[in-house]
Amino acid sequence: MSTIGKRSTGGAVIPVRKRSFFRTLGSQWQLMLMSVPIFLYVLLFNYGPMWGWITAFQDYKPKLGLFNSPWVGWKNFEWLFGREDFLNSIRNTLAMSVINLVFGTVSSILLAILLNEVRVRAFKRTVQTVTYLPHFLSMVIVVGMAQNIFASNGAINQMILSLGMAKEPVFFLGEGKYFWWLVGVINVWKEVGWNTIIYISAMTSIDPSLYEAASIDGAGRFQRILHVTLPGIKSTFVILLIMNIGHLMEAGFEIQYLLGSSVVMDWSQTIDVFVLQYGISKQQYGVATAAGLFKSVVAIVLLVAANSIAKKLDEATLI
Amino acid sequence: MKKVISFLLALAMVLALVPAVMAEGAPEPITLTVFRGDPGDQPADDNKIYKLIEEEFGVKFEFEFLAGDLDETLGLKIANEDYPDLFDGGNSADLLISNGALINLLDYISPEKTPRLWAHIEPQKARLIEKDADGNDVLYIIPNYGLPDGPQIALTVGGPAFFIQKQVLEWAGYPTIKTIDEYFKVLEDFITANPTDENGTPYTGFAILCEDWRHFCLINPVQHLMGRPNDGEVLVDVSNTDFHTETFIDKPYAKPYYKKLNDLFHKGLINKDTFVMNYDQYIAALSSGTILGMFDQAWDFGNATSALNAAGMYKNTFVALGPVYDPADVDGKEIEEHYLNGSLPNVRRGFGISVNSPYAERIVNMWEEMLSDKWQLIFNWGIEGEDYYVENGRLLMTEEQYNNTQDNTWIMHNKARAFFESSPKKQGWIMDGEFKGNCWEPGNQDEIVFGLMNDYDKKFLEAYGFSKFADFVNPPIELAPYGEAWQIDYTPVEIEHQDFLNIQDKRLPEIIMCDPAEFDAKWDAFVEEITPSATAFGNYMQEAILKEAQKVLGNE
Amino acid sequence: MTAIPVKKRKTHRHDVVFPVVNTILLILLMFITLYPVLNTVAYSFNDGTDALRGGIGLTPRVFSTKSYAAILEDQAVYQAAWISASKTVLITLLNLFWTGMLAYTLSRREYVLRKLITTVLVLTMYINAGLIPNYLLITRTLGLGKSYWVYIIPTMFSCFNMIVIRTYIAGLPDALVESARIDGAGDIRVYWQIIFPLCMPVMATVALFVAVGSWNSWFDTYLYCGGQKQLHSLQYLLKMKLATTQASANAAKTSVDAIKSTTQTTPITIRCAITVVSTVPILVVYPFLQKYFVTGMALGAVKG
């Protein structure tokens, strides 16, 4: 067993590895025992249903099933991409995803660092507990509150008016240009504490002696954050970033559906909302699957790109 | 070990047989699986009505209620052919029928075999019994509502109307409002004289709820201003049997209404927040009494009325009015007001029996028995002495008993709501027997309606010389042969219909808020944008309405 | 952290200002995030009809426990809570078991199947064949519908959590594994005896993710067990309660209802009471997990 370990650190000679692939595999039976069952499980549960993707090329009817539904070629895709509002929903999806990604990542890392600097343990735990609570509120509740706060006579507008920053109340909820940003802000409000957990737990693996050493070297607080804390969570950050880049086609639908209204439809409609409106609830299974397939393909392209950039930069990679 | 198991199995089988043997004479006990296309509470295990059903019919129920999207749920059940015995497809029962999930009930229903059921559907059989692809008579679903006995009961406007706070009319000296101009004028006059309520909160003259499917508040009024009851998104000419049908929102006669709204907006009677308001905010605004008027359907804001009454703000509750266009708006044409329609069978709504069920005959026979006066009283009123009492041949409830019927927790123990709501039922008047002249539904019984009415409302009605709130509008007109157009299935043009709705949702608020100088241009652009989808939808509806009408007229 | 000897540190100006600013910032943040929570609690204890008028802040305007009564008086809630709790515990344990082991194997650079398995697993996060094929797999092919196991078996593993654990393991010193190997330990032993105990912070994190996800899920009940009331999960039941309240609020009102007010519950307060009822158990369990990832482990000791 110890030879394997050595090989891994030594960067094995290629011919050797080739010749002995199955022998190596055999000697790794313990690793296989620990991983292959789940691998097969995933093949069954996640890849098993993938036959469903062929409905993207069908006019699928549940009653007829997969084998008897008529084939329509690329028609579902043509229909989707022929619609201006679908293209628009791609733009909205990407815009809101990017805003969410940037806001979400920055805010949760910032909070994690601030929490990490707290020395009083009880205070740290209290702040951490309180900030993650909104995660458990349903989106309906949070959006409802946000709508009251951002209404023409809501708290934000009253503040703006009393500070003299504007003469008229700002129509936050009725003008498209504010919509994406509102979604970003609400998501941060609701999820910042929850998203922080992963970074806090990553910080626990930072060796305390590193802080000690930095202090002895005369590093101030900001330098310690910069040279110890941030490098300590870098791989977590990079991995999450790669994963989230793959998820850029998912901006959700709940918040947009709740916060949006017909007057901001051009900015609020995401791919998922579109599919819900024209695909699923209209029994257009083929169209819904086509949109899903399109999303998956784009996701995989983005993922592979992000992953190989990370590899080039010599950072942690997902795959 | 094996022996022990087989012994236990044998024992279990014997035990399972015992009750069946003991209940000799009673029908073999069965459990019916039920799907309801609406959300609902599981009845409590000790529910007294289900206990009665089990005793008399040997039937227990296993309910599944709608938890997610209806079409999605039905789609999954169809894909898996996993059907319950009793299948209520809610709004989308068409899916069940077109996928062959339901049996033809006419195999079990006939004047001889099931006289009560037959008598129940007979008056509307032209609307209910359809022809299948092979030309056979078929009936898949017995409507759960809308087959009442006796003259139509219309105590209030339960559906669409222009609503106005009672205090506005009181302030204006109880005027009679006939046109939309008069309606807006009285709102404007009131708000000019009283810009804020007692607490200093500014009044809003007119609210328009636009949220999701409730956008009917924005897009439906024109048909009523043109003198028709609710046909959804089309206007039908019922003066002859051509039933000319068209979408109304893109027609010249729609323009004056939105022009008036544009005026109101610039006069400050409409607040722009109205277009981004969600339903909770709308109800909150209505409940706090600061919105003076709106177009809506009465059931859509019943909660707000409750809240106002609970706070004693009777003058802020609403009365339904039926304004129409002034002749000046429509080339001098006089329009007769019709907000109330004749009673309408809830076609394709309610229980069907699935093709997988082995109990079809038993279910139909149970319904037949349940249409007896005895069972209808149990379902509608409950158990005498517990849930209601009888005085001089009148069915009555104490206030507490009546309030119980509104309490979901009480209902779980004491009503067979989940089953009865989707089952065939009697409504309207009790036509014979010892309770002749009473109403089947407690909520329509005179003593209950007027016994619980508050003094402000009594005074208000008196001032107009009316006996009921429905007197503010004309009595119901006769139901058109095609029924009401919103009931018609438009699956084949669903995509066009969704476009048609989206364009209205998006453009109408813009038009209402736009600079008056741009109004005409905006309106023309709107008409141009919506014409393709409107035409596709309108043409489809024209055909569908003729087909529906043919069913009724062809048989007469 | 107390190990840092104070005397040896050079005092920076930041060291005085920063903690103060930091504390103020965090307290401010607590207010912002606590407000919606307290507001929800206030609504949940408010009279339903009164709450319709909105405008409730941090305390109820008309106190009432009727919304809670409407939820908790239904005996089915307790059965559903049991189903939810038991499936949450089972799923969490199974997830930690499988996901942790898998994460370990995929952190071993020498594992020849590493690349293949990782790629196949990662892609599952981005592909979704749609509802119907999944549904048919579970109900038809596997026959799991209408049984308790439909809660457990399809959710035993999550790739996201695996990646989180793998990243954590990758951050541990390689020497730990190496030295154990030299002592002749196989991978199974290395994982369970050395790596797993060091992973408590990330295991607690993943346990939290899985448990919260499972506790809050209702969709599986909706898809597979809607007709089996003895298998209803708490969230499903609560969601149904809300939907029923909404439906009866919208239902065609007969003449009387509009005239006479009743003391019925309303969707607004029910929704808030539901949130509280389903969140309190999480809050009770939370500190036990939190201590692992907030406090951390004395890793230095192991390393030394």
Is it the case that residue B105 has pLDDT exceeding 90? yes
Confidence of residue B453 (pLDDT cuts 50, 70, 90): confident
> Residues A122, A259: one domain?
yes
Higher pLDDT, C43 or C266: C43
| Contact yes or no for B276 and A285 at CB 8 A | no
- What angle in degrees, to the nearest 10, is found between the helix axes of C159-171 and C114-123? 140
The pLDDT, as a whole number, for residue C224 is 95
Is it the case that residue C8 has pLDDT exceeding 70? no
Confidence of residue C183 (pLDDT cuts 50, 70, 90): confident
> Residues A183, A209: one domain?
yes
**Chains touching A (3+ CB pairs < 8 Å):** B, C
- Residue A170 within any structural domain of the chain: yes
Q: Does B281 touch chain A (CB under 8 A)?
A: yes
> Residues A145, A289: one domain?
yes
User: What is the pTM for the complete model shown?
Assistant: 0.89
Number of A/C CB contacts below 8 angstroms equals: 283
Domain that holds residue A21: 1-54
> Residues A18, A140: one domain?
no
Last residue of a domain, one of A54, A73, A92: A54
CATH number of the domain bearing residue A228? 1.10.3720.10
Best mutation target, A75, A149, A263, to test chain B (most B CBs within 10 A): A263
Chain C residues within 8 A of B448 when measuring between CB atoms: 256
Mind listing the domains of chain B with CATH numbers?
26-150+345-441 (3.40.190.10), 160-339+453-554 (3.40.190.10)
Total count of domains within chain A: 2
CA distance C45 to chain B (A): 17
| Contact yes or no for C248 and B408 at CB 8 A | yes
Is it the case that residue C6 has pLDDT exceeding 50? no
The percentage of chain B sitting over the pLDDT mark of 70, rounded to a whole number, equals 95
| Contact yes or no for B407 and C253 at CB 8 A | no
Confidence of residue B25 (pLDDT cuts 50, 70, 90): low
Is it the case that residue A191 has pLDDT exceeding 60? yes
Average pLDDT, chain B: 92
Q: Classify A181 as helix, strand or coil.
A: helix
- Residue A18 within any structural domain of the chain: yes
Q: How many CB atoms lie within 10 A of CB B419?
A: 22
- For B165, the enclosing helix (H) or strand (E) is strand B160-165
Best mutation target, A138, A157, A261, to test chain B (most B CBs within 10 A): A261
Chain B residues within 8 A of A284 when measuring between CB atoms: 495
CA distance B281 to chain A (A): 8
Tokens of B332: 């001098």
The percentage of chain B sitting over the pLDDT mark of 90, rounded to a whole number, equals 79
Q: How many CB atoms lie within 10 A of CB B214?
A: 16
The pLDDT, as a whole number, for residue B136 is 93
| Contact yes or no for A258 and B278 at CB 8 A | yes
| Contact yes or no for A126 and C30 at CB 8 A | yes
Longest dimension (CA), chain A: 78
Chain A residues within 8 A of C122 when measuring between CB atoms: 303, 318-319
> Residues A268, A208: one domain?
yes
Q: Does B66 touch chain A (CB under 8 A)?
A: no
> Residues A90, A140: one domain?
yes
Is it the case that residue B17 has pLDDT exceeding 50? no
Q: Does C193 touch chain A (CB under 8 A)?
A: no
CA distance B507 to chain A (A): 8
- Residue A174 within any structural domain of the chain: yes
Confidence of residue B22 (pLDDT cuts 50, 70, 90): very low
Q: Does A28 touch chain C (CB under 8 A)?
A: yes
| Contact yes or no for C205 and A145 at CB 8 A | no
Last residue of a domain, one of A11, A32, A54: A54
Enumerate residues 6+ apart whose C-beta is below 8 A from B255. B523
Of B157, B463, B195, B523, nearest in space to B323 by CA: B157
| Contact yes or no for C49 and B283 at CB 8 A | no
Minimum-distance CB partner of C167 among A134, A220, A316: A316
CA distance A265 to chain B (A): 7
> Residues A223, A290: one domain?
yes
Of C232, C206, C228, nearest in space to C219 by CA: C232
CA distance C224 to chain A (A): 16
User: Backbone phi, then psi, for C197, in 5-degree steps?
Assistant: -60, -30
pLDDT (tens digit per residue) in B46-80 = 999 999 999 999 999 999 999 988 988 998 999 88
Chain B residues within 8 A of A58 when measuring between CB atoms: none
Last residue of a domain, one of A39, A54, A69: A54
| Contact yes or no for B506 and A266 at CB 8 A | yes
> Residues A11, A89: one domain?
no
Q: Does A212 touch chain C (CB under 8 A)?
A: yes
- Residue A301 within any structural domain of the chain: yes
Chain C residues within 8 A of A287 when measuring between CB atoms: none
| Contact yes or no for C54 and A220 at CB 8 A | no
Chain A residues within 8 A of B491 when measuring between CB atoms: 283
pLDDT (tens digit per residue) in B266-321 = 999 999 999 999 998 999 999 999 999 999 999 889 888 888 988 889 999 999 99
Average pLDDT over residues B91-120: 94
| Contact yes or no for C240 and B39 at CB 8 A | yes
The rounded distance, in Å, linking the Cα atoms of C114 and A39 is 11
| Contact yes or no for B63 and C75 at CB 8 A | no
Confidence of residue A18 (pLDDT cuts 50, 70, 90): low
| Contact yes or no for A50 and C129 at CB 8 A | yes
Q: Give me the residues paired with residue B428 across strands.
A: B149
**Chains touching C (3+ CB pairs < 8 Å):** A, B
Confidence of residue B452 (pLDDT cuts 50, 70, 90): confident
CA distance B102 to chain C (A): 19
Q: Does A230 touch chain C (CB under 8 A)?
A: no
pLDDT (tens digit per residue) in C94-150 = 999 999 999 999 999 889 999 999 999 999 999 888 888 899 999 999 999 999 999
CA distance B76 to chain A (A): 8
Of C303, C23, C29, C293, nearest in space to A236 by CA: C293
| Chain B residue nearest residue A257, CA to CA | B212
Enumerate residues 6+ apart whose C-beta is below 8 A from B414. B47, B48, B49, B382, B386, B387, B404
Q: End-to-end distance of chain A based on CA atoms, in angstroms?
A: 25
Mind listing the domains of chain C with CATH numbers?
75-303 (1.10.3720.10)
> Residues A67, A30: one domain?
no
pLDDT (tens digit per residue) in B361-376 = 999 999 999 999 999 9
Confidence of residue B254 (pLDDT cuts 50, 70, 90): very high
- Residue A129 within any structural domain of the chain: yes
Confidence of residue B26 (pLDDT cuts 50, 70, 90): low
Q: Which residues of C216-238 are buried (b: 16+ CB within 10 A; e: fewer)?
A: bbbebbbbbbbbbbebbbbbbbb
Residues 39-98 of C with CB under 8 A from A: 39-40, 54, 98
The pLDDT, as a whole number, for residue A13 is 41
| Contact yes or no for A136 and C181 at CB 8 A | no
8-state DSSP, B248: S
| Chain B residue nearest residue A279, CA to CA | B495
Question: Do B166 and B459 touch, CB atoms closer than 8 A?
Answer: no
Q: Does A113 touch chain B (CB under 8 A)?
A: no
The pLDDT, as a whole number, for residue B451 is 85
CA distance C60 to chain B (A): 16
> Residues A221, A115: one domain?
yes
Question: Do A260 and A179 touch, CB atoms closer than 8 A?
Answer: yes
- Residue A318 within any structural domain of the chain: no
Confidence of residue A6 (pLDDT cuts 50, 70, 90): very low
The DSSP result for B176-217, as a single string, is ---BHHHHHHHHHHHHHH--B-TTSPBPEEEE---SGGGGHH
| Contact yes or no for B210 and A147 at CB 8 A | no
| Chain B residue nearest residue A258, CA to CA | B278
Average pLDDT over residues C225-232: 93
> Residues A5, A24: one domain?
yes
- Residue A319 within any structural domain of the chain: no
> Residues A40, A92: one domain?
no
DSSP E strand stretches across chain C? none
